[in-house]
Amino acid sequence: MRRVLRPLQWVWLLVVVLLVWELLTRTVTRSLFVPPVSEILRTFGDSWFAATPSTLFLSEEFRTNVLPSIGRIAAGYAIASVAGICGGILLGVWRPAGAFFNPLIRLGMSVPVTALLPLAIVVFGITNSMNVFLIALGCLWPILINAYDGARGIDGTMTLTARSMQLSRRRYFLNVLLPGASPAIVAGMRVSVGTAMVLMVVSELYAATSGLGYYLTQQQRLFRFPQLWSAILLIALIGILANAAFAALERSALRWHHAARGESR
Amino acid sequence: MTATIGGEKSMTSAVLEVAGLGKSYRSRAGDVPAVRSITFDVRPGEFVSVVGPSGCGKTTLMMCIAGLLPLTTGAVTFRGTPLDRPRDGVAVVFQDYSRSLFPWLTVAKNVALPLKDRKVPREQVRSRVAHALEMVGLGHAADLHPWQLSGGMQQRVAIARGLVVEPEVLIMDEPFASVDAQTRTSLEDLLLRIWAETGTTVLFVTHDIDEAVYLSDRVVVLSQGPSVVVADIAIGLERPRDQVATKQTALFGELRGEVYGLVMASEKRTSLAGHTDQG
Amino acid sequence: MTATIGGEKSMTSAVLEVAGLGKSYRSRAGDVPAVRSITFDVRPGEFVSVVGPSGCGKTTLMMCIAGLLPLTTGAVTFRGTPLDRPRDGVAVVFQDYSRSLFPWLTVAKNVALPLKDRKVPREQVRSRVAHALEMVGLGHAADLHPWQLSGGMQQRVAIARGLVVEPEVLIMDEPFASVDAQTRTSLEDLLLRIWAETGTTVLFVTHDIDEAVYLSDRVVVLSQGPSVVVADIAIGLERPRDQVATKQTALFGELRGEVYGLVMASEKRTSLAGHTDQG
Amino acid sequence: DGGTDTASGPATIKVTSFGCEIWNTWAEAKGVFAKHDLKVELVKSTGGSAAVAAVLSGAADLGYVNGFSAINAYNTGFPIEIVAGANTNALPPAKPAQGVFVGTNSPLKTAKDLAGKTIAVNELNGLNQIVTSTWLKQNGVDVSGVRFVALPFSDQVPALLSGKVDAAQLGYSLLGDNNGKVRSLADPFATAGTVYIATYVASKAFVAKGDTASRFHDAMVETMAALGEPANTDESFALLSACNKVPADVLKAQPQNALSPSVDLTALNAMADQMVEQKILPKKPDLDAFVPGFARS
Amino acid sequence: MTTETPVRPVGAPTRVRRRRRPVPDWVLGAAGAVTLLVVWDLAVRTGAVSEDSLPYPAAMLARAGNLLVDREFLTQTGHTLWAWFASLALAGAVAVPLGLLMGYFATLYRPASTVVHAARSIPSTAFLPVAILMFGLGFQMKLALAIYAIFWPILLNAMYGVRDAEPQMLTAGRSMGWNRYRLLTRIVLPSAAPAIATGIRVASSIALIVVLSTELLGATTGIGTVITTYQQAQRPDFVYAGILLTGLLGVVVYYAFTFAERALLPWANAQRGGAR
Ligand SMILES: Nc1ncnc2c1ncn2[C@@H]1O[C@H](COP(=O)(O)OP(=O)(O)OP(=O)(O)O)[C@@H](O)[C@H]1O
Ligand SMILES: Nc1ncnc2c1ncn2[C@@H]1O[C@H](COP(=O)(O)OP(=O)(O)OP(=O)(O)O)[C@@H](O)[C@H]1O
Ligand SMILES: O=C([O-])O
Ligand SMILES: [Mg+2]
Ligand SMILES: [Mg+2]
């Protein structure tokens, strides 16, 4: 009984919200733009899945629009992570470099990446690289800033300890700086998951010939609202999965951090 | 009981010689002297404690001696060569175990870290780490993480990390200040046992006058900062020492009173007067 | 020197009576007993310390006495009435000053807090806060925030907050455990002075046996948890006490040794054997 | 909101706009709207589907929508009607107003060369893509191999010049000062029959309520007739120039689309046929109820 | 730790002391900015990037000066700021109290966090096509998208802030005889305040970026529309001047919030913040 009720504790409100949505759209406000949940779910199945085992039960639409988007997110995010972590730590431990780049980073984070879409098109053309570039640029800032703060926030005693042990630079980076800054870095990477999703959609609204953003625009132009919402639902599911994967990774990789802070979860 | 005021220099067989050590910190307002001029030396195998009023420069002194801070004046020599950067024969144990152990590494890996860049064969690393952990009574905790241990155990890991390099000099800056009174008692006795076993020279900073007297061969008393040596007191208590018996002796009480008097006298303001730091 | 094993009940003039107090924590695995059965009482104006092995239930006991935790068995009475929720005549000072002071309030406002809901006229609040701060030597720090103070000063603010309600009983749970040895010495003497001035009854938990003996009229020794009272030792040291003179007396050494022996005996494992708390 | 005939004064209506439409400028300046008892408030919108949404949500009374989007919205079941036509394509012998542009030195010469190439259009499945696809098909090109890319008009020429796309379909008037850097392969609209590049749509409820919609249609008819007068050309371009800040002589040199305030149902049906052919619509809707009587030609 | 040595606020950077007097940070920062402009200038001068797509920095700076005194630009900036402010005010007014409730009542916390995490997983831009259809291209659409984007971070920070309240402080409050309401107003609220402030600061940046993005992607008023207008007019110098100014606006907003936070919540620095 307990085992059944415990998950219910977590999900009942979500179920209520969806039921209210269904009822409202079926009765009181038959909005042209917001279809009932049941219709979205039906379209969701029809749009993204197919009865063909050879394509892993994924529809043609899924393969042409969703897979490219996921690929772009993965590539952009990976580039941002590597550049952000290395750059941030470097700027964090080398004070003059940090000061040198500080105004540029502040400005960079504040410029809406969307504004650079035209520049990206000119530089990269209508290619995957263009989307990847925009995603990477948008995700870079939170990771960079957090890695910077993380590296600067490493306890002075730890730094001294490492120095007194005469660790090599490489070992110092790998065994002290990187793990020491990792809670902050992971926090930044987590924020960037959301940013990556935002920019995936935005960068595909124009100048793309595939992808979820492209699909959304197309459905909007054709006034296909159930399809539009089923794409939004898919994006939400991808976001939830990405967040869950992240939380799991964080729980295992940063166990020392949470435990050291005396957190229960 | 022998007290040589001013810490006069003695034998040349010293493992560590601190001669006229002075250190100023640079700040916006100008140079701030933390240590004026400190001279003393430590003979091989000796257990020397340094006490002094808060903020008098004890930590600064230890950092200079460990080669972690450049000196402003004077010199520190370790077996005759100047100590201007961290050296192999010198290990440091810091006060705050929670900040000097790396929480992302297991106990064994924390202890193994100082051996890592020294081309010690892997097999030997393993045995030395095991031995160091055995010495501090933590053989069973090798695969745990620091945050799975109590404070006293963590500090023992830090001591094991100091010992694993088999240092000639072990510098300890208030190592037991963050553990509770009962644990401290155990750690003191543990330290004395290891010191006797290994013959390591120990240079020990503490706030606790009982602790300094209980542990040491000599207690160096510093003045209010910028500090100089006020007294260098030989502690003639018998060894091995015992938490109850030793502390019940008249000599212990006298030495304790003497050091207490010196520290209090050198402290211009009592700590209750208090200064604040705004912003 | 009088030691009454088992803490037998005496006069009826007790301000605080703890009778057969037992406390279990509920957990998934079932009830975990922390305190088995504790009986002792405190007479008005007395300074009573409670010592015992780590984890034996001292904090649990204090929380129960302060009315912050419901008892499982037994009763606590304060001037004859049961203490089942926080009462006006009882104030608590916690160990960790950094977590019990409110950083968003100034020192003066922190100290004024307990008077807030008691319809004390504003003018009187001001003078009582000023007086409490004067007592702990922080008259000048009224408008600072806790995070602008040193650890010792923060703990003195916590004490002032306890004193401002002019409590009949001041409960202190390891109040000086997080400050360094020198500061602790000053705080101990400060506390003794205030205790003498105000006539407040003090119930004091500590790990430090020297501290317990130095401060108290009586030391209550608890067993390993789930705890019972092992001994209730009267401390016949003369007052006023002095950090050097008192501690040099033979009686101090004896009492210290006695309590030390009782605590060590009641501790099944020494703290060196080490327990780990995982997760 | 809007479209209310108050007892005193003209009816205020909200009309969506892309920027500076020459007929709006003219009708406003010449008092044509006032003459038909209308007070027009222009509401900016950037796309056809947005204008349809504005009309349906009541944010606007009349939406400036390309013909294909309008048919699509009607087919979706939205309660809208076309109350006026606006611009149609310039058919021969008029000078082409549209082009499929490539760089001056591009090796691409004919429609056939575009097989497998990338062509920029302003919106996917929009007017320009449909017309260009039809034109490519007429020239025997397999459209499924052509990649259409949505780019804002402003980004099309830079993308073309930097080689990121092979061709771009847009109007001459949108070339800016890049006229010398590109050349047109053809005007795909020239062989498309009459295409309603833009229309004005309103909600059925708005059309049914009073005669405001038909008065707007009449105002358009009168305005567009005036604009057709060669005598008015200079003045109309001067007015437009004041609005869009492009020098009047530049405007005058640009080929213009035709203006058709009334809707030819045959042409509209032909457009729907193209949409079915390109699988944008599953089957042709009955367009009879789409255009009220007063708006038909 | 030392007897009376002041406590260093948790999280304050420990600076490594150097022998030489360091070059002030602002000089290095200025050097960084100048270096960027020089590299940019060279990139355009050498033809690495075409002048048609990227202007000379000098030209951009001059245009930025023109825009700053341009009435139309300032009006549109006003529109952008108004949408930004309105979204922040509305989202904050609802999300903060809601987050406090959800954090304080354990029975609400679990089901609500599922809904919140599901909702915040949808990037606000995914709603752009629907929002345009539902709200048109005006203020409402901008507001709706910006509110959607910032509602969740504010809510989550308020929730976490409440849950991170120090148990020892609550015990101290209880020892003074406080009831649930007093504990909430006197301890939970002030301890959650730094986390809430962090949430609002983060939200202020997100809101500005979302508002500007909707303007660039369709909305009809605001700085973004000025930029698209110049884009259509093929004036990259103005386009990049506009982008520069929006970036600077973001920087100003960021520092304004940081400053306000320091002034209003001075203890936030001393305490571990609830930022996530
Ligand atoms: N909230 C709780 N739930 C369950 N068990 C608890 C709880 N609090 C304390 N305990 C357990 O009760 C016992 C007594 O704990 P308590 O903190 O009272 O001991 P203590 O004597 O104060 O320890 P210390 O000397 O370390 O301060 C311990 O075994 C502890 O693990
Ligand atoms: N990095 C620094 N920059 C400037 N002044 C410093 C620095 N570190 C320490 N000081 C100052 O130098 C003096 C000595 O500090 P130090 O930490 O060495 O004293 P200490 O004796 O170890 O104190 P404690 O007993 O509190 O540990 C103090 O006045 C302190 O404020
Ligand atoms: O997921 C976010 O909404 O950031
Ligand atoms: Mg120190
Ligand atoms: Mg306790």
pLDDT tens for D210-252 read 899 999 999 999 999 999 999 999 999 999 888 877 788 888 8
pLDDT in the model for residue A218 = 84
pLDDT at C2 over 70: no
The upper half-sphere exposure of residue B24, i.e. CA atoms within 13 Å in the direction of its Cβ, equals: 11
pLDDT in tens, chain E (276 residues): 333 333 333 333 333 344 456 788 889 999 999 999 999 999 999 988 778 778 999 999 999 999 999 999 999 999 999 999 999 999 999 999 999 999 988 888 888 888 888 888 888 888 887 887 777 777 888 999 999 999 999 999 999 999 888 888 999 999 988 999 999 999 999 999 999 998 999 899 889 989 988 888 777 789 988 888 887 777 889 999 999 999 999 999 989 998 998 888 888 765 433 222
Which of residues B23 and B11 earns the better pLDDT score? Answer: B23
Q: Is A36 helix (H, G, I), strand (E, B) or coil?
A: coil
Would you state the pLDDT for residue E60? 94
- State which H helix or E strand residue A10 sits in: helix A2-26
Element (H or E) spanning B201, and its range? Answer: strand B201-205
Structure tokens at A10: 């977590």
Query: Nearest to residue C23, comparing CAs of C12, C38, C10?
Result: C38
Q: Which residues of B touch C (CB under 8 A)?
A: 53-54, 137-138, 141, 144, 148-150, 152-153, 174, 177, 180-183, 186, 190, 206-211, 243-244, 247-248, 253-254, 256-257, 260-261, 263, 270-274, 276-279
Query: How many helices and strands, by DSSP H and E, does chain D display?
Result: 11, 12
Q: How far is D74 from chain E (nearest CA, A)?
A: 15
pLDDT value for B175: 92
Average confidence (pLDDT) over C187-202: 95
Give me the residue label for tokens 């008819």. Answer: D221
- Ligand 1 center–CA C55 separation, angstroms: 5
Interchain contact D/B (3 or more Cβ pairs less than 8 Å): no
CB A89, CB A151: distance < 8 Å: yes
Binned at pLDDT 50, 70 and 90, residue B171 comes out as very high
Residue bearing the bigger pLDDT, B1 or E101: E101
CB contact at 8 A, E29 and A99: yes
Of the two residues E40 and C277, the one the predictor is more confident about is E40
Check A223 against D159: CB less than 8 A apart: no
Question: Over 80: is that where the pLDDT of C271 sits?
Answer: no
Q: Which of E115, E124, E251 sits opposite A13 (nearest CB)?
A: E115
Interface touch E178/C117, C-beta < 8 Å: yes
Cβ neighbours of D50 in E, within 8 Å: 132-133, 136-137, 218
* Burial tier of A51 (Cβ tally within 10 Å: 0-12, 13-18, 19+): exposed
Answer yes or no: is pLDDT of C275 > 50. no
Residues of B in contact with C248 (CB under 8 A): 253-254, 256-257
Identify the three-state secondary structure at position B56: coil
Which residues fall within 8 angstroms of residue E260, CB to CB, at 6 or more apart?
A: none
Asked if the model's pLDDT at residue C279 lies above 80, the reply is: no
CATH architecture of E58-265: Orthogonal Bundle (1.10)
Per mean pLDDT, which range of A178-182, B260-264, C175-179, D207-211 is the poorest?
C175-179
Please give the pLDDT value at position E10. Answer: 35
Tens of pLDDT, residue by residue over A220-264, are: 888 888 999 999 999 999 988 888 888 888 888 888 887 766 653
d(CA D287, CA D17): 25
How many contacts does A have with E, using Cβ atoms within 8 A? Answer: 185
Mean of the per-residue pLDDT values of chain D: 89
- Is residue B160 within 8 A of residue C190, CB to CB? The reply is no
**Per-residue model confidence (pLDDT) at position B12:** 53
Query: What SS3 state is found at D140?
Result: coil
Q: Tell me the two tokens of residue C128.
A: 């009582």
A222 touches chain D (CB under 8 A): yes
Which has the higher per-residue pLDDT, A265 or C258?
C258
Residues of A in contact with D203 (CB under 8 A): none
Q: What is the pLDDT of residues C206-256, one digit of tens each?
A: 988 999 999 999 999 999 878 999 999 999 999 999 998 999 899 999 999
The whole-number pLDDT of residue B101 equals 92
Would you say the CB of residue E2 lies under 6 angstroms from ligand 2? yes
Ligand 2 center–CA B58 separation, angstroms:
8
In the predicted structure, residue B176 carries a pLDDT above the cut 70? yes
pLDDT higher than threshold 90 for residue B133: yes
In this prediction, residue D253 has a pLDDT band, given cuts at 50, 70 and 90, of confident
Structure token pair of residue C45: 């104006």
List pLDDT tens digits, range D51-107: 888 888 787 899 999 999 999 999 988 899 999 999 999 888 888 999 999 999 999
Q: Inform me whether the C-beta atom of residue C149 falls under 8 Å from chain E C-beta atoms.
A: yes
Q: Do E136 and D53 touch (CB under 8 A)?
A: yes
**Which residues of chain E have a Cβ shorter than 8 Å from any chain B Cβ?**
1-7, 17, 19, 21
Is C147 close to E271, i.e. CB distance below 8 A? yes
Architecture of domain A45-261: Orthogonal Bundle (1.10)
Give the best-scoring range by mean pLDDT among C51-55, C269-273, E38-42: E38-42
Residues B214-222, mean pLDDT to the nearest whole number: 97
Confidence of residue B272 (pLDDT cuts 50, 70, 90): very low
Q: Which amino acid is at C246?
A: T
CB C105 within 8 A of CB C141: no
- CB pair distance less than 8 Å for B91 and A164: yes
Residue A72 phi, psi dihedral angles, 5° rounding: -65, -45
Q: Which of B195-204, B224-233, E130-139 has the lowest mean pLDDT?
A: E130-139
| Radius of gyration of the CA atoms of chain B, in A | 19
Does the CB of B207 have a partner CB in chain E at under 8 Å?
Answer: yes
CA distance B19 to B75: 5
> What pLDDT is stored for residue A250 in this prediction?
85
Mean of the per-residue pLDDT values of chain C: 88
Cβ–ligand 2 distance for B39 under 6 Å, the answer no
User: What would the pLDDT profile of A25-63 be if each residue is shown by its tens digit?
Assistant: 888 766 777 899 999 999 999 989 887 888 878 888 899
What pLDDT does E21 receive?
Answer: 62
- What stretches of chain B adopt beta strand conformation (E)? 2-4, 16-27, 30-42, 47-51, 73-78, 81-82, 90-93, 169-173, 201-205, 218-222, 227-234
Tokens of D77: 């079941």
Q: Residue C268: its pLDDT value, please?
A: 53
The pLDDT value given to residue D192: 87
Best residue among B35, B54, B58, B64 to mutate for probing ligand 2, ranked by most atoms within 8 Å of CB = B58
In angstroms, the CA E70 to CA E88 distance is 27
For residue C174, which atom of ligand 1 is closest to its CA?
27
Of B145, B159, B80, B147, which is closest to residue B108 (Cα–Cα)? B145
Q: How far apart are CA D3 and CA D210, in angstroms?
A: 9
Chain C neighbors of B274, CB-CB under 8 A = 137-138, 140-141, 149-150, 152-153
In the block, tokens 């222009």 appear at: D42
Higher per-residue confidence, D122 vs B71 = B71
Rounded to two decimals, what is the model's pTM? Answer: 0.83
Is the pLDDT at B8 greater than 50? The verdict is: no
Tell whether the model's pLDDT for residue D3 goes beyond 50. Answer: no
Cα–Cα distance between A48 and B151 in angstroms, integer?
55
Question: Residue D64 corresponds to which tokens in the numbers above?
Answer: 């400036």
- Ligand 1 atom closest to the CA of C35, numbered from 1: 14
Residue of minimum CA distance from atom 29 in ligand 1: C55
As beta bridge partners, residue C75 has C19
**Is the minimum CB–CB distance between C175 and chain E shorter than 8 Å?**
no
What is residue A204's three-state secondary structure? Answer: helix
CB C178 within 8 A of CB C96: yes
Which residues in chain C are closer than 8 Å to E197, comparing Cβ atoms? none
> C70: distance to nearest CA of chain E, Å?
13
- Residue E31 CA to residue E11 CA, distance in Å, equals 28
Spatial contact of E136 and D50, defined as CB atoms under 8 Å apart: yes
pLDDT, tens digit, 9 for 90 and up, residues A111-154? 888 888 878 887 888 889 999 999 999 999 999 999 999 999 88
* Share of residues in chain D with pLDDT > 90 (%): 61
Backbone angles phi, psi at A6, to 5 degrees: -60, -50
Predicted local confidence at residue C269, as pLDDT = 42
pLDDT of residue C102: 93
**Beta-strand relationship, B201-205 and B47-51:** parallel
Say how many Å lie between the CA of residue B59 and the centre of ligand 4.
Answer: 4
Contact indicator for A67, A214 with CB cutoff of 8 Å = no
**Residue-level length of chain E:** 276
Domain extents for chain E?
Answer: 58-265
Backbone angles phi, psi at C25, to 5 degrees: -95, 140
- Name the more confident of B67 and D126: B67
For ligand 1, mutation pick of C21, C35, C38, C59 (most atoms within 8 Å of CB) = C59
Instruction: Report how far residue D236's alpha carbon sits from residue D218's, in angstroms, rounded to the nearest whole number.
Output: 19
C91 touches chain E (CB under 8 A): yes
* Confidence bin at C182 (pLDDT 50/70/90): confident
pLDDT of residue C152: 86
Long-range contacts of range E162-166, CB-CB < 8 Å, 24 or more positions apart? E162/E99, E162/E100, E162/E103, E162/E104, E162/E188, E162/E192, E163/E103, E163/E109, E164/E191, E164/E192, E164/E195, E164/E274, E165/E191, E165/E192, E166/C99, E166/E191
Q: pLDDT per residue over C68-111, tens digit each?
A: 999 999 999 999 899 888 988 999 999 887 788 999 999 999 99
